[in-house]
Structure 1
Amino acid sequence: MKKLLFLLVLTSFSFGSLLPKTSAQNLAGDPLASRPKLVVGIVVDQMRYDYLTRFWDHYGEGGFKRMVNGGFTCKNNHFNYAPTTTGPGHTSVYTGTTPSVHGIIGNNWYDKSSGKIVYCASDSLYNSVGTDTDAGKMSPHWMTVTTITDELRLFTQKRGKVIALALKDRGAVLPGGHMANAAYWFNGGKEGDWISSTYYMEDLPKWAKDFNKSNASEKYKKTWEPLKDIKTYVESGADDNKYEGSFGGETAPVFPHDLPAIWENNNQFDIIKGTPYGNSLTTDFALAALEGEGLGEDPITDFLAISFSSTDYVGHQFGVNSKEIQDTYLRLDQDLERLLKALDKKLGTGEYLVFLTSDHGAVDVPGYLRDQKIPAGYMDSRGMSAKFKEFMSFTYGDANLIKNYSNAQFFLDHEVIKNLDLKIEDVQQAIGQELLGYDGISNVYTGHQMVQNNYTQGIPYIIQNGYNQKRSGDVLLVLDPAVVYYPETGSTHGSPFSYDTHVPLLFYGKGISKGSTVERTEITDIAPTIATLLGISFPNGTTGSPIEEVLE
């Protein structure tokens, strides 16, 4: 008898997971009672995994530590494709797949059909909302599959709200998906306002207008000083060193950074993006959206997608080992605590779900690594270009076989190659063999290899996951570890190596187990994990799998 009752209960749970929740249902009797009122997706731009551990002793109890100690941590979480950049990163988190499927192969890329460079979120068919500039001419139309946010909208018959926001337009547009109620991003310069696109709306809602009118961004026009005694920042290098870049108008890249004094030298409100104040402003706007949109106020799950972009700006300028990056994360920890407390107050502790990850990591400044006797360096672009032109001239004469070189990919002119009675794969192979002999290049792959082979591990696997047959180039380069195309100050990213692929993945809140794993997880596992918890369809291009240990 007991066994029969157990089977009946188990069956009710299984079939219950397929049923949509209505506003009239009583959560107490709902077999999907683990479904949260609100999902908050957080992407911290350019956050290496070791920022979580390196600055641990400085974090308070209410931000990163609260999520780690009270939630589930994936310690061996990686991007399974390259290039590891912002547009592809945000898209992969929310689609559960890689650029090979979702089509966002870079922040910008050469479009074969138009012969032009395109931007991952640009769309001339729509106009700006909240500004007279062109900064709002955006949409997610380059993304070819659905997101977890789209699937929530479809499942709830559009009754579940999706709001996405970030300082960067692509950090909001791509996570919001095709069906978001709204996506917002920050327009700096002289304005300092949050804006949107006519793709989502014809006018900003009252709460967003009120936020802009309050001059909320103006309060961050102030000096950036260390949050704590800078002498305690022993986890980072010297404040004044040759590996960091300076703001315009500064004589050295050191604290304090007097923003009012250098305001005009750095395009006014744009400088806020390059300081931790940009993350604080993002949190301010997120809290305004939480209230203004009434998120989580009914039993139908809503979704708030937040991207903290300032961490990327600071990393690019000052580098992985800087006092500035450490201070930025200590301040972000406070902003996370502020966000979690607001969610507690509005929705109730344990009634919401948060996940936190990153869109890519970052390499330590190659010049610094080189000085520490670690192999690293910078590509000699001019030398490489001159040598390559000589090779092409010697091999193919005056024929112009190259249409474009961008994102470490060569795009060939297939028509010219055919007119010369050459085979595409032969030209790809010849160019690849030539480039493999150049200093700074560790691997070269051809489009033919990407199409014909099925790689399951290592660098080829990562490159193939980033290769989109319609959009990617004919010859793909992989630079040596810690070798970059970049100025000699600050950090960058984009490679298939662990410093760019290893990022945090934290789950916290309703329906989440407490614990951690060192088993490998991949960025494409996030969306199907959330979909499983919500009982909704996976995004339609999903190639990842739910992380079982995360779910209660």
Structure 2
Amino acid sequence: MTRWGLLAACALIAAPTTAKAPERPAPKLIVAISVDQFSADLFDEYRPTFTGGLKRIAGGTAFRNGFQAHAATETCPGHSTILTGSFPARTGIIANDWTDQRVARSDKTVYCAEDERVPGSSSSAYTVSPVHLRVETLGEYLTAQRAGSRSVAVAGKDRAAVMMSGHKVDQRWYWDGKKYSTDQQGKAPPKAVTAINNAVAAMIAAPALPLTPPPGCEAKSKVYAVEGGGKAVGNGRFARAAGDARAFRASPAFDGATLALAAGLIGEMGLGKGSQPDLIAIGASATDYVGHTFGTEGEEMCLQMASLDRDLGDFLSYLDAQKIDYAVVLTADHGGNDIPERQRERGIPTAARIDPNFTVTAIGKQIGQKFGLAGPVLWGGSVGDVWLDAAIAPAMRPKVLAAAVAIAKAHPQVAEVFTRSQIERTAVPTGSPVGWTPIQRVRASFDKERSGDFVVVLKPRITPIADTKTYVATHGSLWDYDRRVPILFWRPGMSATQRNDATETVDIMPTLAAMLGLKVDRKVIDGHCLTIEGVACPAD
């Protein structure tokens, strides 16, 4: 079954053009969509080619300079900002995972969406949980203040679904590598989940033929040999061997399945048709997997953008046919950085892969030999948060920290190294994210309980992947190619407004809360309500 068959399985049909409407009450359904790794650069590049759902959504109020303003531009922190209105410094979600040497298991890595207290668990074999999210989401505000409202989340990643829906949710479904699963126990799965899981299983079991690229994508077809693994990318068309679930995940068909499941749940649950408004959060994850596997500027990403545009168009047509009064916001959890091999050809001579010898293990070993220390000395990665080993004596810790910082700073690929004390002395930044300094960006990601003893920042366009056998490109830096994302608000009948001013993903939640007439204490969030058509922002 093709991805179009999945959409048909949920009865997605075309709908008549919606006439422009006068002033209206709050919508009955909020559709919050996060397209994983959908950078503002991708949005700007492909916007002229969009003819489907992305064109329609961009035809409302389009902020092309939205920001995931913090430094830790990863999936979990990014998703934690979208519907909470708060930076990772407040949500507590500092990264996809972090080190906690206090946990009662040999694996000291903690995954952002797990409950590490579960016996026998590890950061890779875990129980999905929102326990680490320290704040409430829009869905939790909605269901607490509007009796009868429902909150639903569907995503290609568990962390996307969890961070956008929070602790209390009516339905939450995410791809677990084989099927769409839930962390909610004791509930019979909706019929839509069973139908989509059966359809996807059949799709994966059969081989997939290569996609036929439109002319614009053919122009991007060029093979690049990637350093560090012998892999070649640039002209892939998503042909897939039978049974290859990993290749399915890194293909346009993945978003088609997720959107089909979202449509099925909307129909089965009657979302948007009750007396009170409902919310569905959707995490479209394929763009991220395509970006990691092939880079952001090849034929593969071109095909992904075209397919996502069509799938979103079918999804919106389904909502139209259901005669639901709905509003859409679309954004991303972070941006992305293309493969350095292609970037150098495109005029970025400094683009490079990280030195494979620059590792936390190597630095720790060097320091251990200098001071006669056993054990790992350092925990974490060579980029981002790094922790000193808890076994190091208090009197020795300043010496170890100074030595580690000096070694990291001396590396030619390192831009900055900030210690915990430097970060703690920095105020959480406010105002336009464009002018934030590197340490201010790091501060917006800093949590006193979870963050490292120091943070390593690579220079722009240094890709922290040396071994490219699996992934060839990534994100996660504090530079604007990873921070800048589109923020698009659309509702049928909304006037087209292009906004070039900088805004932030933390502004989405208070804006939607105002649209719904919900009360949110401004003191417990970081975002501000945006002035857009149809939204009356409350006075601060």
Q: TM-score, normalised by structure 1?
A: 0.82
3-state SS of 2:411 partner: coil
Spell out the pairing of 1:76-115 with structure 2 (5 A cutoff).
76-114=65-103
Give 1:453's match in structure 2, choosing from 426, 430, 436.
426
User: Could you say if the C-alpha distance between residues 380 and 317 of structure 1 is closer, same or farther in structure 2, counting changes exceeding 3 Å?
Assistant: same
Cα separation, 1, equivalents of 2:129 and 2:302: 34
1:120 paired with 2:112, answer yes
1:483 match? 462
Deviation above 6 Å: which 4+ runs of structure 1?
A: 124-127, 244-247, 250-253
Give 1:347's match in structure 2, choosing from 323, 326, 342.
323
- 2:73–2:475 Cα contact (<8 Å) kept: yes
1:439 match? 412
Q: CA deviation at 1:323?
A: 0.2
1:212 paired with 2:203, answer no
3-state SS of 2:128 partner: coil
User: Could you say if the C-alpha distance between residues 460 and 35 of structure 1 is closer, same or farther in structure 2, counting changes exceeding 3 Å?
Assistant: same
1:359 paired with 2:359, answer no
Q: CA deviation at 1:239?
A: 3.5
Q: CA deviation at 1:188?
A: 3.4
Q: CA deviation at 1:541?
A: 3.9
1:16 match? none
3-state SS of 1:490 partner: coil
1:155 paired with 2:145, answer yes
Cα separation, 2, equivalents of 1:445 and 1:280: 42
Q: Deviations over 1:368-392 (max 9, x none)?
A: 2234452121222425557634652
2:293 match? 317
Among the aligned pairs, what percent are the same residue?
Answer: 27
Q: CA deviation at 1:453?
A: 2.4
- 1:384–1:438 Cα contact (<8 Å) kept: no
Spell out the pairing of 1:375-454 with structure 2 (5 A cutoff).
375-383=350-358, 388-389=363-364, 391-393=366-368, 395-398=370-373, 402-406=377-381, 408-413=384-389, 416-418=392-394, 421-422=395-396, 424=398, 427-454=400-427
3-state SS of 1:503 partner: strand
Q: CA deviation at 1:513?
A: 5.6
1:42 paired with 2:33, answer yes
Amino acid corresponding to residue 428 of structure 1 in structure 2:
L
User: Could you say if the C-alpha distance between residues 389 and 88 of structure 1 is closer, same or farther in structure 2, counting changes exceeding 3 Å?
Assistant: closer
Q: TM-score, normalised by structure 2?
A: 0.84
Moved more, 384-393 or 173-182: 384-393
Q: Deviations over 1:46-73 (max 9, x none)?
A: 111122232233321x31111222x100
Amino acid corresponding to residue 444 of structure 1 in structure 2:
V
* Structure 2 residue ranges without an equivalent (≥5): 1-21, 430-435, 536-540
2:208 match? 223
Q: Deviations over 1:18-60 (max 9, x none)?
A: xxxxxxxxxxxxx994311000000001111122232233321
User: Could you say if the C-alpha distance between residues 383 and 479 of structure 1 is closer, same or farther in structure 2, counting changes exceeding 3 Å?
Assistant: closer
Amino acid corresponding to residue 197 of structure 1 in structure 2:
D
- 1:410–1:475 Cα contact (<8 Å) kept: yes
Give 1:537's match in structure 2, choosing from 519, 535, 539.
519
User: Could you say if the C-alpha distance between residues 256 and 399 of structure 1 is closer, same or farther in structure 2, counting changes exceeding 3 Å?
Assistant: closer
Cα separation, 1, equivalents of 2:63 and 2:77: 21
Spell out the pairing of 1:180-329 with structure 2 (5 A cutoff).
180-189=169-178, 193-198=179-184, 201-213=186-198, 215-219=199-203, 221-229=206-214, 231-233=215-217, 236=220, 238-243=221-226, 254-259=235-240, 262-264=241-243, 268-329=244-305
User: Could you say if the C-alpha distance between residues 545 and 241 of structure 1 is closer, same or farther in structure 2, counting changes exceeding 3 Å?
Assistant: same
Q: Deviations over 1:295-338 (max 9, x none)?
A: 01123010011111111111111101110111011010001111
1:58 match? 49
Q: CA deviation at 1:86?
A: 0.5
- 2:511–2:530 Cα contact (<8 Å) kept: yes
- 1:126–1:138 Cα contact (<8 Å) kept: no
- 1:45–1:86 Cα contact (<8 Å) kept: yes
- 2:94–2:447 Cα contact (<8 Å) kept: yes
Amino acid corresponding to residue 38 of structure 1 in structure 2:
L
1:505 match? 487
2:447 match? 468
3-state SS of 2:473 partner: coil
Q: How many residues align?
A: 494
Cα separation, 2, equivalents of 1:355 and 1:224: 33
Q: CA deviation at 1:422?
A: 4.6
Amino acid corresponding to residue 527 of structure 2 in structure 1:
G
Cα separation, 2, equivalents of 1:41 and 1:385: 38
User: Could you say if the C-alpha distance between residues 338 and 378 of structure 1 is closer, same or farther in structure 2, counting changes exceeding 3 Å?
Assistant: same
User: Could you say if the C-alpha distance between residues 452 and 423 of structure 1 is closer, same or farther in structure 2, counting changes exceeding 3 Å?
Assistant: farther
1:68 match? 58
Q: CA deviation at 1:365?
A: 0.9
- 2:103–2:116 Cα contact (<8 Å) kept: no
Cα separation, 1, equivalents of 2:370 and 2:134: 38
Cα separation, 2, equivalents of 1:535 and 1:334: 32
Cα separation, 1, equivalents of 2:416 and 2:28: 47
User: Could you say if the C-alpha distance between residues 298 and 460 of structure 1 is closer, same or farther in structure 2, counting changes exceeding 3 Å?
Assistant: same
Moved more, 458-467 or 542-551: 542-551
Amino acid corresponding to residue 84 of structure 1 in structure 2:
T
Q: CA deviation at 1:455?
A: 6.2
User: Could you say if the C-alpha distance between residues 402 and 365 of structure 1 is closer, same or farther in structure 2, counting changes exceeding 3 Å?
Assistant: same
Amino acid corresponding to residue 145 of structure 1 in structure 2:
V
* Structure 1 residue ranges without an equivalent (≥5): 1-30, 128-133
Q: Deviations over 1:513-541 (max 9, x none)?
A: 64122111011111111111111133784
Root mean square deviation, CA, Å: 3.0
